[in-house]
Chains A and B, each alone.
Chain A
Amino acid sequence: MNNKKRRNRLDIVRDVLKAVQDKGGTIKPTHLLYKSNLSHNRLKEYVDELSGKKLIVEVEVKGKTMIQITDEGHSFLERFDKLREFTDAFGL
């Protein structure tokens, strides 16, 4: 039996951002793929969503596409725990 709790959207967002942050703020998409433990399509969805929310940006580094966390992304991670408590309090 799988004892691991299923991650919700907010958990996944946090994991994706944390993976980028832990890599010094910039990460290769392939590294992010295995660090975030998502399928390619699901990760693309999240990357698009987080880019739309300006939490991450796609940048070109030496001709390669990299994913970079923004200041808003850092701020999001800082406030994540409080937001989690807020969400948990209301079961949203």
Chain B
Amino acid sequence: MGVPIWFYGVNALLELIVTLACFLIFYSGYKAYRLTHEKKYRFFSLAFLLLGISFLARTLLHLLVFPLNATFIIDKVRGSVNFGSPFYIILTLVAYLIILAVCFRIQRKKTISILFLISLVGIFFTFNPMRNFHIISILLLLYIIGHFMKNYIRKQSLSSLATFVSFLLILSGHILFLALTFGVWQVYLAYLLAHLFQLAGYCGLLVTVGKVLIK
């Protein structure tokens, strides 16, 4: 998959904003946990901590690539970037599984670990791990979004709508990233849009969750 050279640095900046959003959501969730001492808030915040770390890893990798602004060097370092991908994939996957477990009140650790291991096998025992990662993420997000859609129908509140839409945007980002692995559409535009959708999704969540931050 080709990434426009001018976009190196810009993608890191967008991911850095997503990283900050994830860490702030983690902090909000942790505050809710401190207040209630309920495990669901602890796991919820943990999921966003993991997402924050995974995006931070990606940001740092893209920042490393940015100063080497030449195609041949980028091709050379692509191998090293791929070392960062498993880290990002595993943390994101665990985070989505935790969100899924919290939403569906799955308490059995064995169930989650089986889901995680099957996902890992499905991702890493293929020729294109990133493609399978996006497919599995899309599937997990579809279930998570189903929960948020039902929640919105039940609550009819602005915050539940914002959560639903935010996760839809995150899902759209994954769909675009997946499309890129198949080489469809105008690559540069799709890559930019995927990042923007992701950014909008996490910022939407931040606005919703951030209300807890403000006393």
Q: A residues bordering B, Cβ < 8 Å?
A: 10, 52-53, 75-76, 78-79, 82-83, 85-92
Contact = CB atoms under 8 A, between A and B. Distances in A.
Given A78-B215, A86-B28, A86-B209, A92 B159 contact: no
Given A79-B35, A83-B36, A85-B159, A91 B147 contact: yes
Contacts of B163: 89-90
Interface of B: 28, 32, 35-37, 40-41, 44, 102-103, 147-148, 150-151, 154-155, 157, 159-160, 162-163, 208-209, 211-212, 214-215
A86 B151 CA distance: 12
B48 to A, nearest CB: 11
A76 B215 CA distance: 11
A55 to B, nearest CB: 9
A90 B163 CA distance: 7
5 contacts: A10-B36, A52-B37, A90-B160, A91-B103, A91-B147
Contacts of A52: 37
Nearest to A76: B35
Nearest to B43: A92
A5 to B, nearest CB: 12
Given A79-B215, A88-B151, 11 more contacts: A53-B37, A79-B212, A83-B32, A86-B209, A87-B32, A88-B160, A89-B163, A90-B160, A91-B148, A91-B155, A92-B103
Query: Chain B: interface secondary structure?
Result: helix
A91 B157 contact: no
B211 A86 contact: yes
Contacts of B157: 85, 88-89
A90 B214 CA distance: 18
B150 A89 contact: no
Contact of B35 (A83, A85, A92): A83
B13 to A, nearest CB: 28
A91 B28 contact: no
Nearest to B163: A89
B44 A89 contact: no
A90 B154 CA distance: 11
B159 A89 contact: yes
Max chain B Cβ within 10 angstroms of own Cβ: one of A79, A90, A92 = A90
A86 B214 CA distance: 12
B110 to A, nearest CB: 22
